[in-house]
Structure 1
Amino acid sequence: MEGGKPTLPMVYQAVQALYHDPDPAGKERASVWLGELQRSMYAWEISDQLLQLKQDIESCYFAAQTMKMKIQTSFYELPPETHTALRDSLLSHIQNLKDLSPIIITQLALAIADLALQMASWKGCVHTLIEKYSNDVSSMPFLIEILTVLPEEVHSRSLRIGANRRTEIIEDLAYYSTTVVTLLVTCAEKSGHDEKMLIKVFRCLGSWFNLGVLDNNFMANNQLLMILFQVLQQRDETSTNLHEAASDCVCSALYAIESVAIHMPLAMQLFQGVLTLETAYHMAVAREDLDKVLNYCRIFTELCETFLEMTVRTPGQGMGDLRTLELLLICAGHPQYEVVEISFNFWYRLGEHLYKINDPGLHNVFRPYIQRLLHSLARHCQLDPDHEGVPEDTDDFGEFRMRVSDLVKDVIFLVGSMECFSQLYSTLKEGNPPWEVTEAVLFIMASIAKNVDPENNATLTEVLEQIVLLPETVHLAVRYTSIELVGEMSEVIDRNPCILDTVLNFLMKGLREKPLASAAAKAIHNICSVCRDHMAQHFQGLLDIARSLDSFALSTDAAVGLLKGTALVLARLPLDKIAECLNDLCAVQVMALKKLLGQGSGKGKASDPTVWLDRLAVIFRHTNPIVENGQTHPCQKVIHEIWPVLSETLNAHQSDNRIVERCCRCLRFAVRCVGKGSASLLQPLVTQMVSVYQLYPHSCFLYLGSILVDEYGMEEGCRQGLLDMLQALCMPTFQLLEQPNGLRNHPDTVDDLFRLATRFVQRSPVTLLSSSIIIHIIQCAIAATTLDHRDANCSVMKFIRDLIHTGVTNDHEDDFEVRKRLIGQALEQHGQQLVTQLINTCCFCLPPYTLPDVAEVLWEIMVFDRPTFCRWLETTLKGLPKETAGGAVTVTHKQLTDFHKQVTRYTRPRPEHFTLAQPNGINILSPDLQNQPSVHYIQQVIRIEPLFLIRDLRGSWEQNLVKRDWAEKLHLLRRWCQVTIVNPTALWVTDCERTSRATPVLELEIQIAGSGSSTLSWYLPVSRAQACKCRHVAGGMSPWDLEESPFLIEPMEPWVFPTVNLEG
């Protein structure tokens, strides 16, 4: 800290300014100054003095927070001989300040807990604390606070105490756990009507449950468990806060016993105890106490989650008692939708289990429960009878309805999509329900429409025919949801093109009404995506809509979606018509850009070109006609004519990162659209990119450069120019990243720089390896391995991995020896530094999800030169710290030796006798390709199997869990086969009978060396859905034979694994 040690009055003044200065600038200055103080060595002494003086709450809180932060992040600053004094000082402070403020006590308790976890010489800290303070009633609150946060901090990443120390701590806490529970029982029994103390007791017990160290037999018959359920069974006597604390504790206990078989005594007690809460739930409902109702529902849901395996394995028997499901359905009957929403994750998991088991008899057991659930969900989706206008998608209720839609898709297979759809339609057809009931039923029907087999389905056709006849007098929300349902039934329209005109007329009416316009546009987009061939005859109508797009009250996404649908249909027109139609489609956007350029610089939306750039981008992105070899791409002329406008727009807004990024995105899709047909733009585009980048280093230029390298890197005449581009872009990039915290402050630049370098490695490795810039790129990559930004770190690791892999792959090629020599020289110079950096970043910098990428890099180094790698790894391991600042052993010599052996002895077997085919035996190579030598080589060498994507507890796609296996197979493909992966796209695949949010399928075109222009499309199922029928795409045929396959397709936004980085 500049200026030396600050005085206490200076610190007091800064704290007062932080909390009480009316000037925001004064608060900011005080915050910055105090932050610098916290990072300095003086913080230890000053915070200790502030706590001793106890002048006011603000200064004490700052001091307590500082002490906690220093122990968490800077404990190494203190010599070991001061640790005992620090412990005694903290214990003295917490005792002296126990009556000042609970938040100060919490901060000091965290400081003491973090100290105990790191201070190896403090043996039996729990026993010490209980022995010292348990007999003093006034000290009991802070003692329990310490005992609460201590288990919570064991797995804190900010401490990084190491696995050995953590194991030692957990064993120590398990040893003293009965002592802690006994103390808590005593406190609970003596608390009487002291509600605050009982809340602390429950919070502490929950913390120890979460750590998983409590003895089952001891807890099963413990008095504390009885007290918990007594509190929850009380009717009016329990306050909201106490009820919530007790509920949290029961939920923690249920979560702790998820492996029921090894926690049977405690599991039985909890199971019986929760079942007794049904009456209390009904009383809470009767008293309209929503907080308690929500607590009970949380407990019931956690009970069902914990005993899910037993419920599915032995339904109706023992702890598979189906009364647990009854409890959740009772909650689903509550009028507030927030209650049933708590249980959604359980119903999803139940559906997952039953789908995997695929036992019709078992499905019949649970079908009635799912039917009742769906009935409740439909009721909860009803809008208020006095609601005006269309349903809102962005408010809390709108988000709830979206979650309902997802859940319905997850569990509908148990009821049957067609059966459910028909029943819902019957309620509308046979009765005369209020408009809000009609709208909710239509909403549920829209959720499952894609799951219903559209083939020869009279009900679906009848539904469509009735919807398009809806009078304009019905409630606006009903019309809105009807339009959404029509959009979801695009497959039905595709099978029944005779109703296409009627449907389009219906949607056009909606498009002209402001509240319905965006929904109608989305529906038209869906129909264009699925019915591309049938919509070709309506292209002129789509073009008219596109020309007058701004006359409709559309959201930005809806407008872009309409253009996307139009572009998809455009690609199906005859080649001789595409150029003219594309020109007409782009004309509105181009004229708008020209008008903005003529107006000069301005402010506000009126002068913002991003709307038009985004629209051009989506047109280029989705206009992908099938062009045979030798034919001129029909989009080539149009893009060449538009280039000057894009170039001028880029120059006019070169300082605005947002606009430049949109320009680059538009150019990226333009280049991808015509491929090699954009060759004449290469030189002016690169020249402009480099020129602007020197002044304004927008990272999107690096990304665009990677696209150019991907397209032209294998063209001999383009390699030197692309290398010159790389070198010109690297210089300002390195200057930017060499600034203080440059890597951390510019992760997008890191990501895009190494994406560009990786493309060079893939397309023209010798060109890059022979240049002078490669050394600087490698040095930058080594420095960037410490960056914990997901995408940036992924790109860095992929670059290093692919770079080293270049030295071993494709050993039959003429340049192999050159590549091997150049990689060897680079590793000779930087190999030891790289291995040391990677091991250290794994230990001290990177989050767990990045470790598979690091392992891949280390594997490649070992494959390239195993003996040298063994030496580098040994040197690195010897340099690791063996003890923490607190004296704990971080790693033993035996652990290091075992790790070295495990890593260096690992071998990855070379695959044999494999074919590029799906597991169902259907070979996806077309007959005209199967006899080619290169394809035969692939068949003999590699087999790519479908992978299964894992969901996390929140229901979102957890992509990195599957990434490593997929990437490994992709590496094998590249290692043993001379292939090029191009045009990665993604599709949503929807199983007609059952799927969860549809199934993503990655489609890769594989260009095979020696096969001329021949490509084959490889469809890789990457979800839990079973492998589906795949076939080669040839002559513009659909990749899916819908007559034979139970899967339906609709286009999806490109979706790529985060670490494979194939998108572009």
Structure 2
Amino acid sequence: MEKPTVALVYQAVQALYHDPDPAGKERASVWLGELQRSMYAWEMADQLLQLKQDVESCYFAAQTMKMKIQTSFFELPPETHIALRDSLLSHIQSLKDLSPIIVTQLALAIADLALQMASWKGCVHTLIEKYSNDVSSMTFLIEILTVLPEEVHSRSLRIGANRRTEIIEDLAYYSSTVVTLLVTCVEKSGSNEKMLIKVFRCLGSWFNLGVLDSNFMANNQLLMVLFQVLQRDETSTNLHEAASDCVCSALYAIENVDTHMPLALQLFQGVLTLETAYHMAVAREDLDKVLNYCRIFTELCETFLETTVRSPGQGMGDLRTLELLLICAGHPQYEVVEISFNFWYRLGEHLYKTNDPALHGIFRPYIQRLLHGLARHCQLDPDHEGIPEDTDDFGEFRMRVSDLVKDVIFLVGSMECFSQLYSTLKEGNPPWEVTEAVLFIMAAIAKSVDPENNPTLTEVLEQVVLLPETVHIAVRYTSIELVGEMSEVVDRNPRFLDPVLNYLMKGLREKTLASVAAKAIHNICSVCRDHMAQHFQGLLDIARTALVLARLPLEKIAECLSDLCAVQVMALKKLLSQDPSNGKAADPTVWLDRLAVIFRHTNPIVENGQTHPCQKVIQEIWPVLSETLNTHQADNRIVERCCRCLRFAVRCVGKGSASLLQPLVTQMVSVYQVYPHSCFLYLGSILVDEYGMEEGCRQGLLDMLQALCMPTFQLLEQSNGLRNHPDTVDDLFRLATRFVQRSPVTLLSSGIIVHIIQCAIAATTLDHRDANCSVMKFHEDDFELRKQLISQAMGQHGQQLVTQLMHTCCFCLPPYTLPDVAEVLWEIMVFDRPTFCRWLENALKGLPKETSGGAVTVTNKQLTDFHKQVTSAEECKQVKYFGEHSEVTAKRLKTAADENLKGSPTGQMGGTWHCGKPIKTHRKDWSDRVNP
């Protein structure tokens, strides 16, 4: 774009905020976005801030300045950095009264500049010295000091390990100066609420960074002020929240209690004084404060967890901490007790690992009281109508309760708890909502109760299936869930099979209970399949019947499978005969999904030499599936369902589907040329997995791969093709990897392998978990077995691949992908260690040593050490460790990445292949990956 005038930029900002026409707003947004990406943004933002025309233009300018410093700092020559710093400090001082949001944006810009501008030494000292004596400047000074430690670990800035260490050491050195400043602010401002909130936020930020000296803080006046604020009944909600956040940050910072003993003791004693204040908040029905106190109590318990388990009831292992959480569990609002769930889970985990009965006995009463409280919190309202919802907030809370109960039930004893719960129903006559909640908890622990010779379990099952239809429908719903969870009891007591199925069938006939009843029937069929063959005809219309089908005699499976598929096939035929203008009425996904479920769960035992009983049925329904695929070939959603159905059909019969191979591949290739749905690549990988080792199929499968690759490469070579189509990348390299696994000679001796490797090198930069994993799997998969075939390709592309991998580790990929990259580097090294050593040395020499801000990203010694560590590794896990813990591969400044990736080798295939922000996609439900 050409350089705009300030007036034009201001006009665009006004249109963005005030144009009544949505199209006008959109045009302004696009144009301003283009401006922010240009070099002119620096000057325009600076001028708008100088003009101070209104809040909107100043906010846009401040945000632009922050964004440019975060993402494009490399655009400025080093000699301009001091001028930029002085300009930002001038702007924040002149705009301090305009809007707090603008002050925050400028504070972030200054903080990000300080982190990247290595020449700005002792920035904290400079700022405090310049502004601490000016009361009017205190607001923005504290804001800068608040965001500065927060930005040290910001994902917006890629700061290498060296620079981060340097910054943290510098901030630690001046931390006591900051705390002293905050104390002075409190003394001067007295009870000024806004200033206290800012002071607490700032102190919490420095606690979070972990640089405050615990001995210095233990007797600091700020701690006393914090607890005074939290103890006062008249404290406002905002100030109370800021103080609570600060105490939680302090508790988190001292999690290693033994090294922070003086501060730990002060915090421990201070939090214990808040019980009275909690009760006062409950009495006043101030839920916000109650939640804050519960957060503090929970953080206290989390911090002192190991001490509590190690020495319960002694010193800072004082069990009054658990009492505080149980008091919170007694609050009528379930949101309060929910805060503590993670602590109870961690406590259960620690106690499970100790496996000390005496220790378990100490904590058992607390868990029993917790379970009692949870059962009460799970009760629906007495006037609730219908079944329990599982998608609203309360439904999600109940699911979390169920998970927590399963995690801690071992401390109480699942059988003992189950019996106690049942006795409350058996001996009393509780209201329906109590009954439902008790059944819900019983369902959570039913599977952990030993079903062998257990009269209580059989009695519960017997009584539940006798529940009349007149009870509240929520009770029936939860009782059905309980029956489904007790499938192992049914399996060991087959006499219950008929009454259980009859009970579940009643639920299946009611719309509101049908889903939970079907799930329960599925559980029964899964566990009791050996007892179910006689019930097949009665279950024919029920979902998941294929589980039972697989246990029928082989001669009956084909007939019954045909009957089971007939309903779905007839529905598909009917849809195919309809006018396509009917829209959703012709949607075949329901029927395709049902066929997929049938094939997925039909797994009869077939001896060698026997014809698979499902083979004939699949051949019969293929024409319908083929026509459905052809009719809906433009609709990615329906095509995915077709491919999923075919995938399970192929897996079901294995080699028995050979007669479908040629027509299926022909249709896949034909449709893919026009509509490149990635699911065809995935289905291709299934075919290679099943037939890749069959001599007569290899050439045909290679032809399929080559035919699918051409349109795939065309798609990925488009601008941003890799980033826009991560599913295609994922499925392409899953297909290629399956070929390497099943028929390596066929693929590696073909002409297409060079193009696939080039694409794979380019795709190493893709920041998408599944796609990157598939690419790395292709790169590393079993180089040793293919040495002779791969040597020529590695000779041509090895240096490029290693260089690209090192660049992507440093500048493109998130930490969780580094182990996959390490496996590739290991396989290349095992393939040819001397050559790899040379390739790695060249790649490391090409990495940037410092940023445009003057910050050292990596030293020559660190590069040399990394090279020596990797090339001398004797195991792959050593390479993984060095990759994850080395300063070389630690995330660098994004500016360095932007400067150096411009000229980095990117393995282009006619398009622009580059890395960028993480990609989020909705991944289809393909559970079949490397293994069947």
- TM exceeding 0.5: yes
Q: Do the aligned residues in 2 keep the contact of 1:124 with 1:172 (CA within 8 Å)?
A: yes
Matches of 2:12 and 2:744, distance apart in 1 = 57
Structure 1 residues 164 and 540, CA, compared in 2 at 3 Å: closer, same or farther? same
Q: Is the 8 A contact 1:676 1:712 kept in 2?
A: yes
> Runs of 5+ in structure 2 lacking a partner?
872-879, 886-890, 907-911, 914-929
Give per-residue Cα distances to partners, 1:720-770, cap 9 Å, x unaligned: 111111111111111111111110110000000000000000011111111
Change (3 A) 1:955 1:596: farther
- More helix per residue: 1 or 2? 2
Task: Determine the C-alpha separation between the residues in 1 that align with 2:785 and 2:440.
Answer: 63
Which residue does 1:783 correspond to in 2?
762
Q: Deviations over 1:585-608 (max 9, x none)?
A: 011110111011001313443211
Q: Kindly tell me: are residues 518 and 984 of structure 1, through their superposed partners in 2, closer, same or farther at Cα, counting changes over 3 Å?
A: farther
Give the structure 2 partner of residue 358 of structure 1.
355
- Contact 1:511–1:517 (8 Å) recurs in 2: yes
SS at match of 2:894: coil
* Residues 603 and 97 of structure 1: CA distance in aligned 2, closer, same or farther (over 3 Å): farther
After superposition, give the CA deviation of every residue in 1:689-743 in whole Å (9 maximum; x if it has no partner). Answer: 0000000000000000000000111111111111111111111111111111110
**For the residues of structure 1 that align with 2:146 and 2:780, how far apart are their CA atoms?**
64
Describe the superposition over 1:121-167 as per-residue Cα deviations: whole angstroms up to 9, x where unpaired: 00000000000111111111100000000000001122112110100
Count the aligned residue pairs: 891
Cα pair 1:636 1:674 within 8 Å, conserved: yes
Q: 2:13, 2:28 within 8 Å by CA — same for their partners in 1?
A: yes
Offset at 1:546?
5.8
Cα deviation per residue 1:430-465 (whole Å; 9 max; x = unaligned)? 111111111100100000000000000000000011
Give 1:847 shift: 0.2
CA contact (8 A) 1:769 1:822 kept: yes
Identity %: 91
Report how far residue 10 of structure 1 moved. 1.6
Q: 1:499 deviation in Å?
A: 1.1
Q: Using the TM superposition, give the Cα deviation of residue 831 of structure 1 relative to its aligned residue in structure 2, in angstroms.
A: 0.4
1:1063, distance to aligned residue in structure 2 (A): 4.5
In structure 2, relative to structure 1, the CA distance for the partners of 1:754 and 1:958 (3 Å cut) is farther
Q: Secondary structure at the match of 2:646?
A: helix
Of 575, 582, 593, the match for 1:614: 593
Structure 1 residue 815: deviation in Å?
14
Q: Is the 8 A contact 2:381 2:433 kept in 1?
A: yes
Per-residue CA distance 1:572-619 (angstroms, 9 max, x = gap): 111100000000001111011101100131344321101111010011
Superposed CA deviations along residues 1031-1058 of structure 1, whole A, max 9, x for unmatched, are: xxxxxxxxxxxxxxxxxxxxxxxxxxxx
By how many angstroms is 1:42 displaced?
0.6
Q: Is the 8 A contact 1:700 1:752 kept in 2?
A: yes
Q: 1:772 and 1:742 mapped to 2: Cα distance? A: 23
Deviation of 1:278 after TM superposition, in Å, equals 0.4
Are the equivalent residues in 2 in contact too, given 1:345–1:953 (CA < 8 A)?
no
- C-alpha distance 815-121 of structure 1, shift in aligned 2 (>3 A): closer
What TM-score do you get using the length of structure 1 for normalisation? 0.81
Match of 1:551 in 2: none
Residue 692 of structure 2 corresponds to: 713
Classify 1:636/1:743 alpha carbon distance in 2 versus 1 (closer, same or farther; 3 Å).
Answer: same
Q: What is aligned with 2:80?
A: 82
Tell me the secondary structure at the aligned position of residue 905 of structure 2: strand
Q: Given the alignment of the two structures, is residue 424 of structure 1 paired with residue 421 of structure 2, yes or no? A: yes
* Bigger relative contact order, structure 1 or 2 (CA pairs below 8 A, ≥6 apart): 2
Structure 1 residue 774, shift from structure 2 partner: 0.6
Deviation at 1:887? 0.3
The within-5 A match list for 1:575-724 is 575-724=554-703
CA contact (8 A) 2:72 2:895 kept: no
Q: CA deviation at 1:378?
A: 0.2
How far 1:474 sits from its partner (Å)? 1.2
Distance 1:757 1:860 in 2: 17
Preserved contact between residue 600 and residue 648 of structure 2 (Cα < 8 Å) = yes
- TM-fit CA distance, 1:686: 0.5
CA distance in 1, matches of 2:429, 2:45: 72
Which of these residues, 201, 224, 248, is aligned with residue 251 of structure 1? 248
Q: 1:301 & 1:818 partners in 2: Cα distance? A: 55
CA contact (8 A) 1:337 1:380 kept: yes
The reply on whether 1:859 has 2:826 as its aligned counterpart is: yes
Q: 2:804: which partner in 1?
A: 837
2:905 to 960, 984, 991: 984
Contact residue 233 and residue 280 of structure 2 kept, 8 A = no
Aligned mates of 1:276, 1:7 — CA distance in 2: 61
Shift in Å, 1:819: 3.2
- CA shift at 1:236, angstroms? 3.1
Structure 1 residue 956: Cα displacement: 35
Contact 2:525 2:548 in 1 (8 A): yes
| CA 1:162–1:251: 2 relative to 1, 3 Å | same
Contact 2:159 2:894 in 1 (8 A): no
Relative distance call for 1:461 and 1:395 in structure 2 (3 A) is same
Contact 2:784/2:831, CA 8 A, preserved across alignment: no
- C-alpha distance 273-954 of structure 1, shift in aligned 2 (>3 A): farther
CA–CA distance in structure 2, aligned partners of residues 62 and 39 of structure 1? 14
Partner of residue 877, structure 2: none
Displacement of 1:820:
1.8
Cross-structure match for 1:974: none
TM-score, normalised relative to structure 2: 0.93
Compared CA separation, residues 954 and 431, structure 1 to 2 (3 A): farther
Question: CA deviation digits over 1:980-1015, x for unaligned, max 9?
Answer: xxx999xxxxxxxxxxxxxxxxxxxxxxxxxxxxxx
CA contact (8 A) 1:782 1:834 kept: yes
Q: Indicate how the Cα distance of structure 1 residues 530 and 818 shifts in structure 2: closer, same or farther if over 3 A, else same.
A: closer
Return the offset for 1:860. Answer: 0.3
SS at match of 1:544: coil
Contact kept? 2:48, 2:58, Cα under 8 Å: yes
**Contact 1:488 / 1:526 at 8 angstroms: preserved in 2?**
yes
Task: Report how far residue 339 of structure 1 moved.
Answer: 0.2
Distance 1:126 1:984, change over 3 A: closer
Flag the 1:787–1:24 CA change in 2: closer, same or farther, 3 A: same
Deviation at 1:479, TM superposition (A): 1.1
* SS of corresponding position for 1:955: helix
Give deviations 1:497-517, integer Å, cap 9, x for gaps. Answer: 001101111111111122222
| CA distance in 2: counterparts of 1:225 and 1:248, whole angstroms | 13
For the 8 Å contact 1:345–1:955, the answer to whether it is kept is no
Report the Cα distance in structure 2 between the residues aligned to 1:86 and 1:535, rounded to whole angstroms: 77
Contact 2:301 2:343 in 1 (8 A): yes
- Residue 162 of structure 2 contacts residue 857 of structure 2 at CA under 8 Å; is this kept in 1? yes
Tell me the distance in 1 between the aligned counterparts of 2:433 and 2:111. Answer: 55
CA contact (8 A) 2:851 2:895 kept: no
Report the CA distance shift for 1:956/1:488 in structure 2 as closer, same or farther (over 3 A).
Answer: farther
Q: Check the 8 A contact 1:235/1:283 in 2, yes or no.
A: no
- In the TM superposition, residue 814 of structure 1 has moved relative to its aligned partner by 19
Shift of 1:11: 1.0
Q: 1:952–1:958: 8 Å Cα contact kept in structure 2?
A: no
Deviation string 1:383-428 (CA, Å, 9 cap, x unpaired) is 1111111111111111100000000000000000000000000000
| Structure 2 CA distance for aligned equivalents of residues 544 and 745 of structure 1 | 42
C-alpha contact (below 8 Å) 1:546/1:585 kept by paired residues? no
Please state how far the C-alpha of 1:953 moved relative to its aligned partner.
Answer: 28
Measured after TM superposition, the shift of residue 536 of structure 1 is 1.2
Superimposed CA distance per residue, residues 289-324 of structure 1 (whole angstroms, 9 cap, x where no aligned partner):
000000000000000000000000100001110000
Tell me the residue number matched to 1:476: 473
Answer yes or no: is the 8 Å Cα contact 2:117–2:855 preserved in 1: yes
Deviations 1:802-844 (A, max 9, x none): xxxxxxxxxx999999932221111110000000000010000
Separation of aligned partners in 2, 1:23 and 1:696: 37
1:751 and 1:792 in contact (8 A); partners too: yes
Structure 1 residue 192: Cα displacement: 2.0
Check the 8 A contact 1:235/1:284 in 2, yes or no.
Answer: no
What does the per-residue CA deviation read over 1:832-880, in whole Å, with 9 as the maximum and x for residues that have no partner? 0000000010000100000000000000000000000000001111111
Structure 2 distance, partners of 1:442, 1:213, is 50
Between the aligned partners of 1:202 and 1:320, the Cα distance in structure 2 is 28
SS in 2 for 1:726: helix
CA distance in 2, matches of 1:529, 1:887: 64
Check whether the contact 1:766–1:818 (CA below 8 A) recurs between aligned residues: no
